A and B are shown apart, each in its own frame.
Chain A
């Protein structure tokens, strides 16, 4: 075909086809990411989790004081045992007092930064955050995120010949926010099943001064949590004062 054979009718027809294809990719990747992620062998997921977590461990170091680690294990046990979760979660505390964050990586790995522990006012708050990260892990969000992110990146790169950083970022932003709401909801369920105070997560979020762009607005999250678990839900404390103090000093 030569250039002179092109007609606007033909171009518009194919353009409509291209739009349908783009929309299919956008929504198709979202739908396909979870089944693809679930099909990935656990060995590979653990390797992926290590690939993500080891650089942090190497860069900052690990906090593993015995009594603090025991207290942390107690929280994890409490959440997972009563909720009947059989898979083992590997929670590592990273020695980074300036980082107020936690994230879950593929292969049931969770990284907790010491800055976050320091920012928590009570064991209930830290438990709420851990429940949130465990919820991400149960939902397979880290694995889905990797499949979704790499799949989208590669496809956009091929379609447009350049790295469309902005469109890719906006798309994954939307998915991350959906996953966050779902993780909050599942975390509340886990806490309720485990007889743990559900207001911890809400209390921690209430003190949050800035919004993370990959998370929904904090106020929206608090509202959603309040609907699921009214603030007067009082349960058994997850740690004693001594255990909480030990956890706070896990890096010493």
Chain B
């Protein structure tokens, strides 16, 4: 009989509310500078409250690394903005606008890859630390290329793009000698992509949330960590419900109930995520995070918000 180790989330709405209120207040008082400390505090709290096989996760990122990453990425942004000012009201204005759009899309993917790498490599479980190979710029270029193909195919190639994006991320991860391997096939995502695209307008784009749940379920159910298998059971219906309720709650509470929405999201992640295999074989080691890389500069500047990691 398979060992199914369900992920558990033990955080509380009250504690999240305190963290959220604290972040808002401190960001006002420090004109946004506190955001690096705030993000670190929130991630540490969330990590501590995700438990797998009686062991919680630990987040080891620091505010200093996030801040330095931001400062490293800032000159690039300032250069792009300066160039925009220079080309405004000139014959090259439109050409630069197109160029800037492409660059922003490229940098979005670069930011997402490097932020994922930062978070994964700064999170441990039972002392196990992950590494993530690959180059964020290379990932960004590949993703940009795939985005252009998807655009010209009017979205028909999005399944292919999503398959490859996940593959290019997951297959780069190694957790303490255990290679993460995604073995899915792109064509398995084509049909669901086409169906949900067709239904996108009649369903006010909710069908695409269905697609997101399907892709995640498919990808994670075709991913191994060494000999351990990831088990994801999320369904489109639940994700749509989460999205609709989360959106409505945030909107009508003017953001005041946002911590409740975050709580729902964390509970949702834990509910549908498990690892199959005998995790007792993995002995705890001392947390020894030696990764000193700087944080998610491009991610922070572009304000690419993701839920957890």
Contact = CB atoms under 8 A, between A and B. Distances in A.
Interface of A: 1-4, 6-8, 10-11, 14-15, 17-18, 21-22, 155, 158-161
Nearest to B11: A3
B21 A15 contact: yes
B41 A3 contact: yes
Contacts, number: 51
Contact of A11 (B22, B27, B32, B41): B22
A17 B30 CA distance: 11
A14 B38 CA distance: 15
Contacts of B31: 155, 158-159
12 contacts: A1-B41, A3-B42, A4-B45, A7-B18, A11-B21, A11-B25, A15-B21, A18-B25, A22-B28, A158-B31, A159-B28, A161-B303
Nearest to A6: B18
B19 interface: yes
Contact of B44 (A3, A6, A10): A3
Contacts of A14: 22, 25-26, 29
Contacts of B27: 159-161
B15 A4 contact: yes
B15 A159 contact: no
The 5 closest A-B pairs by CB, nearest first: A3-B45, A158-B31, A18-B28, A6-B18, A14-B25
Contacts of B22: 6, 10-11, 14
A107 to B, nearest CB: 21
A1 B34 CA distance: 13
Contacts of A3: 15, 18-19, 41-42, 44-45
A158 B32 contact: yes
A155 B44 CA distance: 29
Nearest to B19: A3
Contacts of A18: 25, 28-29
B44 A2 contact: yes
Nearest to B32: A158
Contacts of B44: 2-3
Nearest to B18: A6
B29 A6 contact: no
Contacts of A7: 18
Contacts of A11: 18, 21-22, 25
Contacts of B41: 1-3
A17 B303 CA distance: 26
B18 A159 contact: no
Given A3-B44, A161-B303, A21 B18 contact: no
A21 B25 CA distance: 11
Interface in B24-58: 25-29, 31-32, 35, 41-42, 44-45
